[in-house]
Amino acid sequence: MPSALDTNMRFKFSIFALLLQVAITVLFGIFVEYKTGSQPERSHPLFQDVHVMIFVGFGFLMTFLKKYGFSSVGINMLIAAFGLQWGTLMQGFWHMEDGKICVYINSMINADFSTATALISFGAVLGKTSPVQMLILTILEITIFACNEHLVTEIFQATDVGASMTIHAFGAYFGLAVSLVLYRPGLKNKHENEESTYHSDLFAMIGTLFLWIFWPSFNSAIAHDNDRLKAIINTYYSLAASTVVTFALSSLVDQRGKFSMVLVQNATLAGGVAVGTCADLLNHPFAAMCIGAIAGIISVLGFHFLTPVLASKLNIHDTCGVHNLHGLPGVLGGIAGIVVTAIQRTNGKSALHTPGMQAAALGSTIGIALAGGALTGAILKLPFLGQASDKNCFDDSIYWEVPEEEKLHVVHSNNYDEQSRFEATM
Protein backbone atom coordinates (compact mmCIF):
# COMPACT_ATOMS: atom_id res chain seq x y z
CA MET A 1 0.00 0.00 0.00
CA PRO A 2 1.55 3.36 -1.02
CA SER A 3 2.30 5.95 1.64
CA ALA A 4 0.08 9.01 1.95
CA LEU A 5 3.29 11.03 2.11
CA ASP A 6 4.22 10.64 -1.56
CA THR A 7 7.20 12.85 -2.39
CA ASN A 8 7.17 12.17 -6.14
CA MET A 9 6.74 15.64 -7.66
CA ARG A 10 6.58 14.56 -11.32
CA PHE A 11 2.92 15.39 -11.92
CA LYS A 12 1.85 16.84 -8.59
CA PHE A 13 4.17 19.82 -8.66
CA SER A 14 4.57 20.21 -12.40
CA ILE A 15 0.87 20.49 -13.21
CA PHE A 16 0.18 22.73 -10.23
CA ALA A 17 3.04 25.12 -11.05
CA LEU A 18 2.10 25.30 -14.74
CA LEU A 19 -1.55 25.98 -13.93
CA LEU A 20 -0.54 28.78 -11.57
CA GLN A 21 1.73 30.36 -14.17
CA VAL A 22 -0.97 30.17 -16.85
CA ALA A 23 -3.52 31.73 -14.49
CA ILE A 24 -1.17 34.57 -13.55
CA THR A 25 -0.27 35.20 -17.19
CA VAL A 26 -3.96 35.50 -18.06
CA LEU A 27 -4.54 37.89 -15.16
CA PHE A 28 -1.59 40.00 -16.30
CA GLY A 29 -3.06 40.10 -19.78
CA ILE A 30 -6.36 41.38 -18.41
CA PHE A 31 -5.25 43.81 -15.71
CA VAL A 32 -1.59 44.84 -16.02
CA GLU A 33 -0.10 47.56 -18.19
CA TYR A 34 2.90 49.89 -18.14
CA LYS A 35 2.73 53.16 -16.25
CA THR A 36 3.59 56.03 -18.54
CA GLY A 37 5.50 59.09 -17.40
CA SER A 38 7.41 57.32 -14.58
CA GLN A 39 11.09 58.06 -13.92
CA PRO A 40 12.83 54.68 -13.62
CA GLU A 41 16.36 56.09 -13.60
CA ARG A 42 16.02 57.33 -10.01
CA SER A 43 14.78 54.07 -8.50
CA HIS A 44 16.44 51.47 -10.71
CA PRO A 45 19.68 51.20 -8.65
CA LEU A 46 17.59 50.68 -5.51
CA PHE A 47 15.51 48.03 -7.32
CA GLN A 48 18.70 46.21 -8.30
CA ASP A 49 19.88 46.18 -4.68
CA VAL A 50 16.57 44.86 -3.37
CA HIS A 51 16.45 42.25 -6.13
CA VAL A 52 19.90 40.96 -5.16
CA MET A 53 18.81 40.75 -1.52
CA ILE A 54 15.75 38.68 -2.41
CA PHE A 55 17.40 36.20 -4.77
CA VAL A 56 20.97 36.02 -3.46
CA GLY A 57 20.89 37.29 0.12
CA PHE A 58 17.91 35.35 1.41
CA GLY A 59 18.78 32.28 -0.64
CA PHE A 60 22.36 31.87 0.53
CA LEU A 61 21.57 32.84 4.13
CA MET A 62 19.59 29.59 4.37
CA THR A 63 22.33 27.32 2.98
CA PHE A 64 23.74 26.55 6.44
CA LEU A 65 22.13 23.09 6.57
CA LYS A 66 24.69 20.54 5.42
CA LYS A 67 22.38 18.59 3.06
CA TYR A 68 19.82 21.25 2.10
CA GLY A 69 21.75 23.80 0.03
CA PHE A 70 20.01 23.04 -3.26
CA SER A 71 16.59 23.54 -1.71
CA SER A 72 17.62 26.65 0.21
CA VAL A 73 18.77 28.49 -2.91
CA GLY A 74 16.50 26.75 -5.43
CA ILE A 75 13.17 26.89 -3.62
CA ASN A 76 14.04 30.45 -2.57
CA MET A 77 14.31 31.29 -6.28
CA LEU A 78 11.01 29.52 -7.03
CA ILE A 79 9.16 31.37 -4.26
CA ALA A 80 10.63 34.71 -5.30
CA ALA A 81 9.91 34.27 -9.02
CA PHE A 82 6.33 33.19 -8.41
CA GLY A 83 5.78 35.57 -5.51
CA LEU A 84 6.82 38.73 -7.31
CA GLN A 85 4.20 38.03 -10.00
CA TRP A 86 1.49 37.25 -7.45
CA GLY A 87 2.54 40.23 -5.33
CA THR A 88 2.22 42.56 -8.32
CA LEU A 89 -1.40 41.47 -8.66
CA MET A 90 -2.34 41.42 -4.97
CA GLN A 91 -0.82 44.82 -4.22
CA GLY A 92 -1.96 46.22 -7.54
CA PHE A 93 -5.62 45.39 -6.92
CA TRP A 94 -5.56 47.91 -4.05
CA HIS A 95 -4.19 50.68 -6.30
CA MET A 96 -5.90 50.21 -9.66
CA GLU A 97 -6.19 53.11 -12.09
CA ASP A 98 -9.16 52.93 -14.45
CA GLY A 99 -9.45 49.22 -13.82
CA LYS A 100 -5.77 48.54 -14.58
CA ILE A 101 -2.71 47.70 -12.51
CA CYS A 102 0.13 49.97 -13.63
CA VAL A 103 3.64 48.57 -13.27
CA TYR A 104 6.82 50.59 -13.00
CA ILE A 105 10.05 50.45 -10.98
CA ASN A 106 8.45 51.21 -7.61
CA SER A 107 5.75 48.58 -8.11
CA MET A 108 8.48 46.07 -8.91
CA ILE A 109 10.27 47.02 -5.69
CA ASN A 110 7.04 46.51 -3.75
CA ALA A 111 6.50 43.17 -5.49
CA ASP A 112 9.95 42.08 -4.34
CA PHE A 113 9.04 43.26 -0.84
CA SER A 114 5.94 41.06 -0.85
CA THR A 115 8.02 37.99 -1.67
CA ALA A 116 10.27 38.73 1.32
CA THR A 117 7.43 37.82 3.69
CA ALA A 118 7.12 34.34 2.17
CA LEU A 119 10.90 33.88 2.18
CA ILE A 120 11.07 34.77 5.88
CA SER A 121 8.33 32.25 6.63
CA PHE A 122 10.18 29.71 4.47
CA GLY A 123 13.05 30.04 6.94
CA ALA A 124 10.84 28.96 9.82
CA VAL A 125 9.80 25.72 8.08
CA LEU A 126 13.02 25.15 6.13
CA GLY A 127 13.67 21.46 5.49
CA LYS A 128 10.20 20.31 6.52
CA THR A 129 7.97 21.27 3.59
CA SER A 130 7.55 20.29 -0.05
CA PRO A 131 7.72 22.57 -3.13
CA VAL A 132 3.94 22.26 -3.52
CA GLN A 133 3.40 23.34 0.06
CA MET A 134 5.66 26.35 -0.44
CA LEU A 135 3.75 27.50 -3.53
CA ILE A 136 0.50 27.31 -1.57
CA LEU A 137 2.08 29.18 1.35
CA THR A 138 3.31 31.88 -1.04
CA ILE A 139 -0.16 32.36 -2.54
CA LEU A 140 -1.88 32.64 0.82
CA GLU A 141 0.76 34.67 2.63
CA ILE A 142 1.23 37.31 -0.04
CA THR A 143 -2.54 37.69 -0.34
CA ILE A 144 -2.88 38.23 3.42
CA PHE A 145 0.23 40.44 3.45
CA ALA A 146 -1.25 42.75 0.79
CA CYS A 147 -4.43 43.13 2.84
CA ASN A 148 -2.50 43.86 6.03
CA GLU A 149 -0.23 46.32 4.23
CA HIS A 150 -3.28 48.19 2.97
CA LEU A 151 -4.69 48.26 6.50
CA VAL A 152 -1.45 49.61 7.98
CA THR A 153 -0.58 52.21 5.37
CA GLU A 154 -3.99 53.36 4.10
CA ILE A 155 -6.41 52.81 7.00
CA PHE A 156 -4.14 53.39 10.00
CA GLN A 157 -1.91 55.82 8.06
CA ALA A 158 1.09 54.36 9.91
CA THR A 159 4.65 54.83 8.75
CA ASP A 160 6.80 51.76 8.08
CA VAL A 161 9.24 52.77 5.37
CA GLY A 162 11.63 49.85 5.97
CA ALA A 163 8.78 47.44 6.72
CA SER A 164 9.93 46.30 10.16
CA MET A 165 6.30 45.51 10.93
CA THR A 166 4.63 44.70 7.63
CA ILE A 167 7.39 42.47 6.23
CA HIS A 168 9.73 41.30 8.97
CA ALA A 169 7.41 40.88 11.95
CA PHE A 170 4.59 39.69 9.69
CA GLY A 171 6.72 37.11 7.88
CA ALA A 172 8.27 35.82 11.10
CA TYR A 173 5.06 35.33 13.07
CA PHE A 174 3.23 33.97 10.04
CA GLY A 175 6.00 31.38 9.65
CA LEU A 176 6.03 30.54 13.35
CA ALA A 177 2.27 29.92 13.29
CA VAL A 178 2.68 27.63 10.28
CA SER A 179 5.51 25.81 12.04
CA LEU A 180 3.36 25.32 15.13
CA VAL A 181 0.49 23.78 13.16
CA LEU A 182 2.88 21.59 11.15
CA TYR A 183 4.77 20.52 14.27
CA ARG A 184 6.34 17.07 13.95
CA PRO A 185 6.82 15.17 17.25
CA GLY A 186 9.39 13.03 15.48
CA LEU A 187 11.67 16.07 15.17
CA LYS A 188 11.54 16.98 18.86
CA ASN A 189 15.03 15.56 19.22
CA LYS A 190 17.43 17.26 16.81
CA HIS A 191 17.56 15.62 13.38
CA GLU A 192 20.91 14.28 12.21
CA ASN A 193 20.80 16.54 9.13
CA GLU A 194 19.80 19.66 11.04
CA GLU A 195 23.34 20.90 11.43
CA SER A 196 25.95 22.75 9.43
CA THR A 197 29.42 22.07 8.13
CA TYR A 198 32.36 24.41 7.74
CA HIS A 199 31.59 25.03 4.07
CA SER A 200 27.80 25.31 4.44
CA ASP A 201 28.26 28.01 7.09
CA LEU A 202 30.65 29.81 4.77
CA PHE A 203 28.04 29.81 2.01
CA ALA A 204 25.44 31.13 4.44
CA MET A 205 27.83 33.94 5.39
CA ILE A 206 27.80 35.02 1.73
CA GLY A 207 24.06 35.60 2.09
CA THR A 208 24.64 37.60 5.26
CA LEU A 209 27.17 39.86 3.57
CA PHE A 210 24.91 40.54 0.58
CA LEU A 211 22.02 41.40 2.88
CA TRP A 212 24.22 43.54 5.14
CA ILE A 213 25.66 45.55 2.26
CA PHE A 214 22.36 46.22 0.49
CA TRP A 215 20.09 46.70 3.53
CA PRO A 216 20.33 50.54 3.42
CA SER A 217 18.74 50.33 -0.05
CA PHE A 218 15.99 48.06 1.26
CA ASN A 219 15.03 50.54 4.01
CA SER A 220 15.18 53.57 1.73
CA ALA A 221 13.78 52.19 -1.53
CA ILE A 222 10.26 53.60 -1.06
CA ALA A 223 11.19 56.61 1.10
CA HIS A 224 10.38 60.10 -0.15
CA ASP A 225 13.27 61.76 -1.95
CA ASN A 226 13.80 64.26 0.87
CA ASP A 227 14.08 61.49 3.48
CA ARG A 228 15.90 58.82 1.47
CA LEU A 229 19.43 59.87 2.43
CA LYS A 230 18.43 59.94 6.09
CA ALA A 231 17.05 56.40 5.85
CA ILE A 232 20.26 55.18 4.19
CA ILE A 233 22.51 56.76 6.83
CA ASN A 234 20.43 55.55 9.78
CA THR A 235 20.36 51.97 8.44
CA TYR A 236 24.10 52.08 7.75
CA TYR A 237 24.98 52.96 11.34
CA SER A 238 22.30 50.76 12.91
CA LEU A 239 23.75 47.75 11.10
CA ALA A 240 27.26 48.65 12.19
CA ALA A 241 26.22 48.94 15.85
CA SER A 242 24.31 45.65 15.84
CA THR A 243 27.30 43.89 14.28
CA VAL A 244 29.78 45.00 16.94
CA VAL A 245 27.31 44.15 19.72
CA THR A 246 26.66 40.73 18.16
CA PHE A 247 30.33 39.83 18.10
CA ALA A 248 30.74 41.00 21.69
CA LEU A 249 27.76 39.04 23.01
CA SER A 250 28.54 36.01 20.89
CA SER A 251 31.80 35.67 22.76
CA LEU A 252 30.20 36.55 26.09
CA VAL A 253 27.45 33.89 26.03
CA ASP A 254 29.86 31.12 25.05
CA GLN A 255 31.62 29.51 27.98
CA ARG A 256 34.84 29.27 25.98
CA GLY A 257 34.51 32.83 24.71
CA LYS A 258 34.27 31.75 21.07
CA PHE A 259 32.24 33.35 18.29
CA SER A 260 29.15 31.56 16.96
CA MET A 261 28.66 31.57 13.20
CA VAL A 262 24.89 31.25 13.70
CA LEU A 263 24.84 34.52 15.62
CA VAL A 264 27.16 36.30 13.20
CA GLN A 265 25.10 35.16 10.21
CA ASN A 266 21.85 36.45 11.68
CA ALA A 267 22.06 38.85 14.62
CA THR A 268 24.42 41.18 12.73
CA LEU A 269 21.44 41.97 10.45
CA ALA A 270 19.02 42.73 13.29
CA GLY A 271 19.90 46.43 13.25
CA GLY A 272 18.67 46.73 9.68
CA VAL A 273 15.37 45.11 10.61
CA ALA A 274 14.78 47.14 13.77
CA VAL A 275 15.52 50.58 12.37
CA GLY A 276 13.26 50.07 9.35
CA THR A 277 10.02 51.57 10.66
CA CYS A 278 11.56 54.91 11.63
CA ALA A 279 14.62 54.96 9.34
CA ASP A 280 13.36 58.10 7.60
CA LEU A 281 12.18 59.79 10.82
CA LEU A 282 15.27 59.70 13.05
CA ASN A 283 17.12 63.01 13.08
CA HIS A 284 20.44 61.76 14.43
CA PRO A 285 22.58 58.64 13.82
CA PHE A 286 22.90 58.28 17.60
CA ALA A 287 19.29 57.07 17.83
CA ALA A 288 19.80 54.62 14.96
CA MET A 289 22.90 53.21 16.63
CA CYS A 290 21.02 52.74 19.90
CA ILE A 291 18.25 50.85 18.07
CA GLY A 292 20.84 48.71 16.29
CA ALA A 293 22.66 47.88 19.51
CA ILE A 294 19.44 46.87 21.28
CA ALA A 295 18.42 44.78 18.25
CA GLY A 296 21.75 42.94 18.35
CA ILE A 297 21.28 42.22 22.05
CA ILE A 298 17.76 40.83 21.78
CA SER A 299 18.64 38.80 18.69
CA VAL A 300 21.63 37.12 20.34
CA LEU A 301 19.71 36.46 23.55
CA GLY A 302 16.78 35.16 21.50
CA PHE A 303 18.96 32.61 19.72
CA HIS A 304 20.70 31.58 22.93
CA PHE A 305 17.76 31.38 25.33
CA LEU A 306 14.37 31.77 23.62
CA THR A 307 14.67 29.43 20.63
CA PRO A 308 15.18 26.31 22.80
CA VAL A 309 12.16 27.30 24.91
CA LEU A 310 9.93 27.75 21.86
CA ALA A 311 10.94 24.31 20.59
CA SER A 312 10.67 22.41 23.89
CA LYS A 313 7.73 24.15 25.56
CA LEU A 314 5.58 25.56 22.74
CA ASN A 315 6.30 23.01 19.99
CA ILE A 316 7.47 25.76 17.62
CA HIS A 317 10.41 24.49 15.59
CA ASP A 318 12.07 27.51 13.96
CA THR A 319 14.74 26.12 11.62
CA CYS A 320 16.48 29.38 10.72
CA GLY A 321 15.65 31.33 13.86
CA VAL A 322 13.50 33.87 12.00
CA HIS A 323 11.94 34.89 15.31
CA ASN A 324 15.29 36.27 16.44
CA LEU A 325 16.32 37.92 13.17
CA HIS A 326 12.94 39.19 11.92
CA GLY A 327 10.32 38.74 14.64
CA LEU A 328 11.81 40.31 17.76
CA PRO A 329 13.73 43.07 15.90
CA GLY A 330 10.58 43.74 13.84
CA VAL A 331 8.59 44.23 17.03
CA LEU A 332 11.39 46.46 18.35
CA GLY A 333 11.13 48.47 15.14
CA GLY A 334 7.39 48.85 15.66
CA ILE A 335 7.95 50.05 19.23
CA ALA A 336 10.64 52.46 18.04
CA GLY A 337 8.13 53.85 15.55
CA ILE A 338 5.64 54.44 18.35
CA VAL A 339 8.24 56.25 20.48
CA VAL A 340 9.60 58.39 17.63
CA THR A 341 6.16 59.52 16.44
CA ALA A 342 5.17 60.34 20.03
CA ILE A 343 8.30 62.47 20.46
CA GLN A 344 7.75 64.23 17.14
CA ARG A 345 4.12 65.02 17.99
CA THR A 346 5.21 66.38 21.37
CA ASN A 347 7.68 68.65 19.57
CA GLY A 348 5.04 69.63 17.00
CA LYS A 349 6.96 68.11 14.08
CA SER A 350 4.48 65.50 12.84
CA ALA A 351 0.73 65.72 12.44
CA LEU A 352 0.31 62.83 10.02
CA HIS A 353 1.52 59.85 12.07
CA THR A 354 0.26 59.14 15.58
CA PRO A 355 1.67 56.75 18.20
CA GLY A 356 -1.81 55.23 18.63
CA MET A 357 -2.02 54.29 14.95
CA GLN A 358 1.55 52.98 15.03
CA ALA A 359 0.61 50.73 17.96
CA ALA A 360 -2.54 49.60 16.16
CA ALA A 361 -0.47 48.77 13.08
CA LEU A 362 1.97 46.68 15.11
CA GLY A 363 -0.76 44.82 17.00
CA SER A 364 -2.88 44.13 13.93
CA THR A 365 0.14 42.96 11.95
CA ILE A 366 1.12 40.38 14.56
CA GLY A 367 -2.49 39.27 15.05
CA ILE A 368 -3.22 38.89 11.34
CA ALA A 369 0.10 37.09 10.81
CA LEU A 370 -0.60 34.56 13.56
CA ALA A 371 -4.17 33.92 12.40
CA GLY A 372 -3.19 33.73 8.73
CA GLY A 373 -0.26 31.46 9.50
CA ALA A 374 -2.41 29.09 11.55
CA LEU A 375 -4.98 28.88 8.73
CA THR A 376 -2.25 28.33 6.15
CA GLY A 377 -0.63 25.65 8.31
CA ALA A 378 -3.94 23.80 8.57
CA ILE A 379 -4.20 23.75 4.76
CA LEU A 380 -0.58 22.67 4.32
CA LYS A 381 -1.16 19.78 6.70
CA LEU A 382 -3.15 17.92 4.05
CA PRO A 383 -1.26 14.64 3.52
CA PHE A 384 -1.16 14.65 -0.29
CA LEU A 385 1.01 17.75 -0.80
CA GLY A 386 4.29 15.86 -1.11
CA GLN A 387 5.82 16.53 2.30
CA ALA A 388 8.76 14.35 3.33
CA SER A 389 8.76 11.99 6.26
CA ASP A 390 10.42 13.01 9.51
CA LYS A 391 13.45 10.85 8.74
CA ASN A 392 13.86 12.45 5.31
CA CYS A 393 13.62 16.10 6.42
CA PHE A 394 16.49 18.50 5.73
CA ASP A 395 17.61 16.38 2.78
CA ASP A 396 17.94 17.66 -0.80
CA SER A 397 17.87 14.18 -2.35
CA ILE A 398 14.13 13.84 -1.68
CA TYR A 399 13.25 16.49 -4.29
CA TRP A 400 16.55 17.07 -6.18
CA GLU A 401 19.05 15.17 -8.26
CA VAL A 402 22.25 15.39 -6.23
CA PRO A 403 25.84 14.30 -7.02
CA GLU A 404 26.57 10.67 -6.28
CA GLU A 405 29.04 11.46 -3.51
CA GLU A 406 26.20 13.10 -1.59
CA LYS A 407 24.09 9.91 -1.71
CA LEU A 408 26.04 8.10 0.98
CA HIS A 409 23.17 8.08 3.47
CA VAL A 410 19.99 6.05 3.46
CA VAL A 411 16.75 7.66 2.28
CA HIS A 412 14.04 6.19 4.44
CA SER A 413 10.64 5.17 3.15
CA ASN A 414 7.84 7.51 4.14
CA ASN A 415 5.97 4.48 5.49
CA TYR A 416 8.70 4.21 8.12
CA ASP A 417 7.80 7.65 9.37
CA GLU A 418 4.09 6.93 9.60
CA GLN A 419 4.95 4.16 12.07
CA SER A 420 7.29 6.47 14.03
CA ARG A 421 4.62 9.16 14.21
CA PHE A 422 2.18 6.62 15.59
CA GLU A 423 4.72 5.57 18.21
CA ALA A 424 5.45 9.20 19.13
CA THR A 425 1.81 9.83 19.94
CA MET A 426 1.48 6.77 22.16
CA distance 239 to 325: 12
Q: How far apart are CA 60 and CA 200, in angstroms?
A: 9
At a CB cut-off of 8 Å and minimum separation 6, what does 361 contact?
151, 152, 156, 158, 160, 165, 166, 334
User: From the CB of residue 283, how many other CB atoms can be counted at a distance below 10 Å?
Assistant: 13
**pLDDT value of position 426:** 41
pTM above 0.85, yes or no: yes
Report the distance separating Cα 65 and Cα 72, nearest Å.
Answer: 9
How many C-beta atoms surround the C-beta of residue 73 within 10 A? Answer: 19
For 334, list phi and psi in degrees, rounded to 5. -65, -40
Sign of CA dihedral 149, 154, 156, 162: positive
One DSSP character per residue, 19-69 reads HHHHHHHHHHHHHEEEPTT--HHHHHHHHHHHHHIIIIIHHHHTTTSTT-H
> What is the pLDDT at residue 2?
40
The three-state secondary structure class of 101 is strand
Look at residues 82, 55, 70 and name the one whose alpha carbon lies nearest to residue 136.
82
Q: Which of 323, 338, 23 is nearest to 160 (CA)?
A: 338
What does the pLDDT profile of the chain (426 residues) look like in tens digits? 344 457 788 889 999 999 999 999 999 999 999 987 655 557 789 999 999 999 999 999 999 999 999 999 999 999 999 999 999 999 999 999 999 999 999 999 999 999 999 999 999 999 999 999 999 999 999 999 999 999 999 999 999 999 999 999 999 999 999 999 999 988 888 889 999 999 999 999 999 999 999 999 999 999 998 899 999 999 999 999 999 999 999 999 999 999 999 999 999 999 999 999 999 999 899 999 999 999 999 999 999 999 999 999 999 999 999 999 999 999 999 999 999 999 988 876 655 789 999 999 999 999 999 999 999 999 999 988 888 888 999 999 999 999 876 555 545 555 544 444 434 444
pLDDT of residue 183: 94
Asked whether 312 and 343 are in contact (CB, 8 A), the reply is: no
- Pairing mode, if any, of strands 32-34 and 101-103? parallel
Look at residue 414 in the predicted model and tell me its pLDDT.
56
The confidence score (pLDDT) of residue 351 equals 59
- The closest of 318, 316, 311 to 189, measured between CA atoms, is 311
pLDDT at 10: 84
What pLDDT score was predicted for residue 8?
A: 82
Residue 333's nearest CA partner among 261, 272, 393 is 272
How much is the pLDDT for 190? 84
Nearest to 187 by CA among 311, 7, 321: 311
What pLDDT is stored for residue 346 in this prediction? Answer: 81
